[in-house]
A and B are shown apart, each in its own frame.
Chain A
Amino acid sequence: MVKEATIWSLLEEVNDPEVPVLSILDLGIVRDVKREGSRVEVIITPTYSGCPAMDVLRMNIRMLLLQHGYTEVVITTVLSPAWTTDWMSEKGKEKLQAYGIAPPLPVQQVCHPGLFHREEAIQCPRCHSYHTQRISEFGSTACKALYRCEDCKEPFDYFKCH
């Protein structure tokens, strides 16, 4: 008999294909794991509605569990409550920073549609300066914004609060 905790620890091995330093547990997208007999159900929630990584993630979760002998795997997607960067682990934030992506601010800010809204300063993941500028709030993936550091002059990605 396997415990749910075993499955949780296996899921730690599934990484986000677009931000490979983060596991799906770091991201906070695994909401629950249920086991009944030989049946394993993994409940996940997408980061963004159109995130193309989700299909790959679902497949990778299934493959991993199959490899470990779980033949009856159900992956359920739930939308509510909607994913938030608040669910990202502290360890995940450290990994992002080391990888060169500024992690979401510790104080959760949700995008509100106010005009020319100014956000809190984002720290450059390379030189740690706060003298940075947002170039675009849409970046290389749905979850990131484009920034530039005015001190070291390097562009960088910011994993935006959501």
Chain B
Amino acid sequence: MSYSTRVDYTLHLADNALILGHRNSEWTGHGPILEQDIALSNIALDLIGQARNFYQYAARLINTEREAKSGSGMRSAAGQGAKGAAGQGMSDAASEGMRAAEHEVSEDSLAYLRDGWDFKNCLLAEQANGDWARTILRQFFISAYQYLLYTTLRDSRDTELAAIAEKSLKEVSYHLRWSSEWVIRLGDGTPESSSRLQKALDDLWKFTGELFLPASYERELAKEGIAADLSLLKEQWETRVREVFAEAQLFVPGGAEAREGGRETRGVGSGEDGKSAGGREGGVNSEGKGGRETRGVGSGEDGKRAGKGAIPGTDRATWMQMGGKEGRHTEHLGYVLAEMQFLQRAYPGCEW
């Protein structure tokens, strides 16, 4: 097991929780009603607490390694000439963390002093809040993912990660139930709430694929029984999403079109009871199209979407964005960091 791989993975888990937690905290004081403002703020608090546990562990890994390296560095310097203490094999994030804090890396330096390209969160977590529907849907996708992820990670061979997962899972269960119920409430609610949720789905769906595409550090650690094997989570995630979408009468973009390479979206789109059917496998039929239009949700756009999806190879609706896990982010992350990190950048080490 390479040390830097484990740091990268821990930071990935931490960044997901922190960035989503920060996004949710932007709602504090702005929620649609007091109880839901409190609910989302509570979820933000849970996520930031989970992020702290992961960052503390990452900081310990980095500091322990640095200590060991500077020790052996000195020894080797005596024997065969000077050699940099921070050797190769140190991940970008780790060396960045080292630059950030002259002496010791801490949970704070990892959260507040790394740059955008050091962050390893999934793109979905950093997407703007938009309206309530969009925030709810983002939460639902990630909670469903985290629920399965932490369930698996409880058995990780890394006992520290297993302990954080065990702790986090209890909290995420609440998040999942709450966000699932809100997806149903909005989706199966008024024409206005339903159309807003459908719009959110059209916008956010392209960020869900990344959740299940392992980065190199995930692949490596999954082999060693430390990270979760994402391919095993995917099907369960789809089942949950399908179940909730069927209740919410939601349609996955491009979901009606059964095409090669679109397996995952098709799987979700075809509700088992046919309620969410924009056509089952086999593609668009008149009934499917009709079903969409009678929902009265901007039928013009629906029509466009169906048409777009029907042309193989040009289906923007099912194209999946990725890169966040490797530090390639959407422009949104920069704005999140500018706000979140301002104080520590302007007044380093400031406490109150």
Chain A interface, DSSP helix/strand/loop, else mixed: loop
B52: Cβ under 8 A from any A Cβ: yes
A6: Cβ under 8 A from any B Cβ: no
From the candidates B39, B49, B159, name the one contacting A138 in the complex (CB within 8 A). Answer: B39
Contact B173 A79, beta carbon cutoff 8 Å: no
B160: nearest chain-A partner, CB-CB: A79
A55-85 with Cβ < 8 A to chain B: 78-83
A162 → chain B closest CB, angstroms: 6
B interface residues, tally (CB under 8 Å): 36
Contact B174 A79, beta carbon cutoff 8 Å: no
Q: State A112–B36 Cα separation when bound (angstroms).
A: 20
Contact A142 B42, beta carbon cutoff 8 Å: yes
Contact A110 B35, beta carbon cutoff 8 Å: no
From the candidates A46, A52, A115, name the one contacting B247 in the complex (CB within 8 A). Answer: A115
**For A113, what are the chain B residues with a Cβ–Cβ distance below 8 Å?**
147, 173, 176-177, 180
A9: Cβ under 8 A from any B Cβ: no
Q: State A49–B45 Cα separation when bound (angstroms).
A: 8
Query: Assuming the A-B contacts A51-B49, A136-B36, are A80 and B247 also in contact, with contact meaning beta carbons closer than 8 angstroms in the complex?
Result: no
Contact A114 B45, beta carbon cutoff 8 Å: no
Query: Assuming the A-B contacts A48-B49, A49-B49, are A82 and B167 also in contact, with contact meaning beta carbons closer than 8 angstroms in the complex?
Result: yes
A144: nearest chain-B partner, CB-CB: B42
B180: nearest chain-A partner, CB-CB: A115
Contact A139 B166, beta carbon cutoff 8 Å: no
A3: Cβ under 8 A from any B Cβ: no
Contact B177 A142, beta carbon cutoff 8 Å: no
B56 → chain A closest CB, angstroms: 9
Chain A contact-residue range equals 20 to 34
B43: Cβ under 8 A from any A Cβ: yes
Q: State A49–B168 Cα separation when bound (angstroms).
A: 7
B316: Cβ under 8 A from any A Cβ: no
**For B166, what are the chain A residues with a Cβ–Cβ distance below 8 Å?**
79-82
Q: State A117–B53 Cα separation when bound (angstroms).
A: 30
B139 → chain A closest CB, angstroms: 13
From the candidates A49, A51, A136, name the one contacting B39 in the complex (CB within 8 A). Answer: A136
Q: State A111–B180 Cα separation when bound (angstroms).
A: 14
From the candidates A50, A117, A138, name the one contacting B47 in the complex (CB within 8 A). Answer: A50
Residue of A78, A79, A116, A146 contacting most chain B CB atoms (<10 Å): A79
Number of A-B contacts (CB under 8 A): 90
Query: Assuming the A-B contacts A79-B167, A80-B162, A142-B42, are A49 and B180 also in contact, with contact meaning beta carbons closer than 8 angstroms in the complex?
Result: no
Contact A137 B174, beta carbon cutoff 8 Å: yes
**For B52, what are the chain A residues with a Cβ–Cβ distance below 8 Å?**
49-50
A135: Cβ under 8 A from any B Cβ: yes
B290-309 with Cβ < 8 A to chain A: none
**For A142, what are the chain B residues with a Cβ–Cβ distance below 8 Å?**
42, 45-46, 171
Query: Assuming the A-B contacts A50-B47, A80-B162, are A115 and B167 also in contact, with contact meaning beta carbons closer than 8 angstroms in the complex?
Result: no
Query: Assuming the A-B contacts A52-B45, A79-B166, are A137 and B178 also in contact, with contact meaning beta carbons closer than 8 angstroms in the complex?
Result: yes
Contact A49 B38, beta carbon cutoff 8 Å: no
Query: Assuming the A-B contacts A79-B53, A136-B36, are A50 and B46 also in contact, with contact meaning beta carbons closer than 8 angstroms in the complex?
Result: yes
**For A52, what are the chain B residues with a Cβ–Cβ distance below 8 Å?**
45
**For A114, what are the chain B residues with a Cβ–Cβ distance below 8 Å?**
177
Q: State A66–B244 Cα separation when bound (angstroms).
A: 54
Query: Assuming the A-B contacts A80-B162, A135-B35, are A49 and B50 also in contact, with contact meaning beta carbons closer than 8 angstroms in the complex?
Result: yes
Q: List 22 A-B contacts (CB under 8 A).
A: A46-B49, A48-B46, A49-B50, A49-B52, A49-B168, A50-B46, A50-B47, A50-B50, A50-B52, A79-B53, A79-B167, A80-B163, A82-B166, A111-B177, A115-B177, A115-B184, A115-B243, A115-B247, A137-B39, A138-B35, A139-B42, A146-B35
A residues at B contact (CB < 8 Å): 46, 48-52, 78-83, 110-117, 135-140, 142, 146, 162
